[in-house]
A and B are shown apart, each in its own frame.
Chain A
Amino acid sequence: MSGWATHEGIAIGLPREGIDTDQLIPARFMSTPRSEGYGQFLLHDLRRNEDGTLDPDFPLNSAAAQGASILIAARNFGGGSSREAAVYALADAGFRVVAAPSFGDIFTGNAVNNGLLPARISEDDAQALLDTLAIAQQGHADLDAANLSVGGLSVPFEIDAVARQKLMNGWDDIDLTRVHGEDIAAYREARVAACPWIIPRD
């Protein structure tokens, strides 16, 4: 995966608290191979009426929201299940940035591992951005400056330093870790010597 430092795109708002990963992608779609693309499943049930037709009032469904890549959301976004498929759905639908006052911890890690920025913003800033986003606007995210601007508003966001580095460099953890192969082997040996029961009796 390639890294990125700044991103330009259409921003939309989703003014609903507690968008959990079951909303982001309902469980029944999770047996699909990734190669088929997960964007089609994003918020599948929430954006549809009971009869299965798309709800024209749902923010993601408006004509102006097509091609959006920045999502501004409310408190507790991505809580719940560890399903990385929730991030696949966002990423495959073209999103690069989600900004909200709080995120599920596992979602945050999954997002970063897929090049999606989980930008933590204050409750007040989230509300202000959501207010401007009654209609979709152009947005700009800057990882280095930790700043997000949408329409005429510019707000700071928080992201932990390691996550920011990973997003910027597009690091692959497996390669990074394998460099430490000798240290890991030494640790394993010491661990088993001190606590032989870590190897399950079989």
Chain B
Amino acid sequence: MLWVDRHLVHEGSHHAFRKIAERELAVAEPALTTAVVDHYAPTRARMEGGATDDIRRMIATLEENAAHHGIRCFGLRDLRQGIVHVTGPEQGLTLPGLLLVCGDSHTSTHGALGALAFGIGATEVAHVLATQTVWQTKPKAMRLNFEGRLGPGVGAKDMALGWIAMLGADGARGHAVEYTGEAVRGLSVEGRMTLCNLSIEGGARFGMVAPDETTISWISGRPFAPEGESLDRARETWATLRSDDDAPFDRTQTIDAAAIAPIVTWGTSPEDALPITATIPDPADLTGSRARKVSEALDYMGLSPGRPLEGTSVDQVFIGSCTNARLEDLRAAAAVLSGRHARVPGLVSPGSALVKQAAEQEGLHHIFTDAGLEWVDAGCSMCVGMNGDLVEPGKRCASTTNRNFRGRQGPGARTHLMSPAMAAAAAVTGTLTDVRPLLEGRL
């Protein structure tokens, strides 16, 4: 049984609130609990009530539950609103060494700050609300060691899709992953969040990076983070949060960072990922269930085996989600789009209202709108489509999100996962494109 230092809830937590209401239980630690409106947040005409009754009801239910239990709530009109995994770290609620849970699988994102963070189901959310504890079986330890440095135009998203393609979507099942090595140390906290965010897509519930100076300077000054003497004490503790040099891992995988190219997915699982320079797999080269899986995926995706990935035409782009909608991600996309026009429509949804504000202060929104893309409010948006931002059936979307599952972005939607820079490149050419030539002279 583990004590929970931080509990984050969202609209999807309605089942859990109902469970504790049925038993007439109170929330054990309202001060350690934070509610965020994200999954159903309207991204357009928000203040004018641009939402269906169902969406309004989901948001109102969260706000009522939060008010009833005395939980702080980042609602639609709050500048702290955003995707729970963007706003938690941004507000300094996520700190090294804390145990953090949320009823959402991408809670692994918070491990980027050296927190022990994992997603839980509704029954467990109810349990945490009522007791501030969670029962866990200790996972095995796995180290993913990225040696060397990334090439230009290659980032955390490519590192993540690269290892998932190598080990499989269930490759790290039952393991807690620590990301180590020069390429990980070299990532900003934002990049580390992207890397940890995708841990779950490789089957791991936990992903983490040991806190270092990069982490600590990123945390300092954030609204809910400690300051003054308390920060000094915390820093001493945080400095101890690293694996011993000779720490045993149940599994270690070393990856050459310099060999990673920009990656896109071609199928219906994040493991269906290849460098943009590769060709689409041919089921004829495979056997058994693998051959069947590839052929079903290509059928759903409307792709022909053996053709180059590059040049596949897309219908639209989406830049957003808890994977890639922080300021650094928007800057990476803007670096490609600046002074260029998008050949296809696209939606850019920042990860939080504060990211939106910061991006606008830098003028990034002008780059997106001048290129012809739509600049909207913060939320999960087209990552999961619960707020109505959907990809239409049969349409192909270059997306910075984390799941290319069948129907994830809407029934019949075809999703290709990639980095923000690669999604921007797809917007510029209207096809899956290697971003690297488009970045020449711009990095």
Residues of A within 8 A of B (CB): 15-18, 20, 22-23, 26-28, 30-31, 33-34, 45-46, 50, 74-76, 79-85, 87, 102-106, 109-110, 113-114, 127, 160, 162, 173-174, 177-178, 180, 184, 187-188, 191, 195-202
Contact = CB atoms under 8 A, between A and B. Distances in A.
B186 interface: no
B135 A199 contact: no
Given A45-B406, A180-B1, A160 B385 contact: no
B172 to A, nearest CB: 10
Main SS at interface, chain B: loop
A58 B408 CA distance: 20
Interface in B175-214: 200, 203, 205
Nearest to B202: A79
A75 B170 contact: yes
B208 to A, nearest CB: 16
A53 to B, nearest CB: 14
A134 B296 CA distance: 19
Interface string B57-98: 110000000000000100000000000000000001101011
Contact of A76 (B32, B169, B233, B237): B169
Interface string B395-429: 00000000101111001100000000000000000
B269 interface: yes
12 contacts: A27-B384, A76-B168, A82-B121, A84-B123, A106-B120, A110-B122, A174-B126, A177-B127, A177-B135, A184-B132, A199-B31, A201-B227
B293 interface: yes
Given A27-B386, A50-B412, A114-B123, A82 B93 contact: no
A173 B122 contact: no
Nearest to A184: B133
B308 interface: no
Nearest to A81: B105
Contacts of A45: 406-407, 411
B137 A160 contact: yes
B321 interface: no
The 6 closest A-B pairs by CB, nearest first: A110-B121, A197-B226, A113-B123, A84-B122, A84-B121, A200-B224
Nearest to A105: B205
A90 B15 CA distance: 16
Given A27-B386, A197-B231, 12 more contacts: A18-B268, A22-B407, A30-B386, A79-B203, A80-B405, A106-B120, A113-B123, A160-B137, A191-B3, A197-B225, A199-B32, A200-B224
Interface centre among B5, B23, B95, B123 (most CB of A within 10 A): B123
Contacts of B296: 16
Contacts of A200: 31-32, 92-93, 224
A80 B234 contact: no
A184 B31 contact: no
Contacts of A15: 289
B173 interface: yes
B203 A82 contact: no
Given A30-B386, A50-B412, A202-B31, A80 B135 contact: no
Given A82-B120, A84-B122, A184-B3, A195 B97 contact: yes
A109 B130 CA distance: 18
A154 B52 CA distance: 51
Given A30-B12, A30-B386, A188 B405 contact: no
B169 to A, nearest CB: 6
Contacts of A79: 169-170, 203
Interface size range on B against A: 35 or more
A5 B44 CA distance: 52
A27 B384 CA distance: 7
Given A22-B407, A28-B385, A188-B3, A106 B119 contact: yes
Contacts of A80: 105, 200, 403, 405
B311 interface: no
Contacts of B237: 195
A102 B54 CA distance: 35
B225 A17 contact: no
Given A22-B407, A79-B170, A184-B3, A106 B123 contact: no
Interface centre among B105, B205, B385 (most CB of A within 10 A): B105
Given A82-B119, A104-B203, A202 B403 contact: no
A80 to B, nearest CB: 6
B300 to A, nearest CB: 11
A15 B407 CA distance: 19
Contact of B230 (A34, A127, A197): A197
B3 A187 contact: yes
B318 to A, nearest CB: 15
A152 B268 CA distance: 35
B25 interface: yes
Given A83-B12, A173-B127, A31 B25 contact: no
A110 to B, nearest CB: 4
B162 interface: no
B293 A174 contact: no
B363 interface: no
Contacts of B98: 198
Given A109-B121, A173-B127, A26 B224 contact: no
A178 to B, nearest CB: 7
B173 A201 contact: no
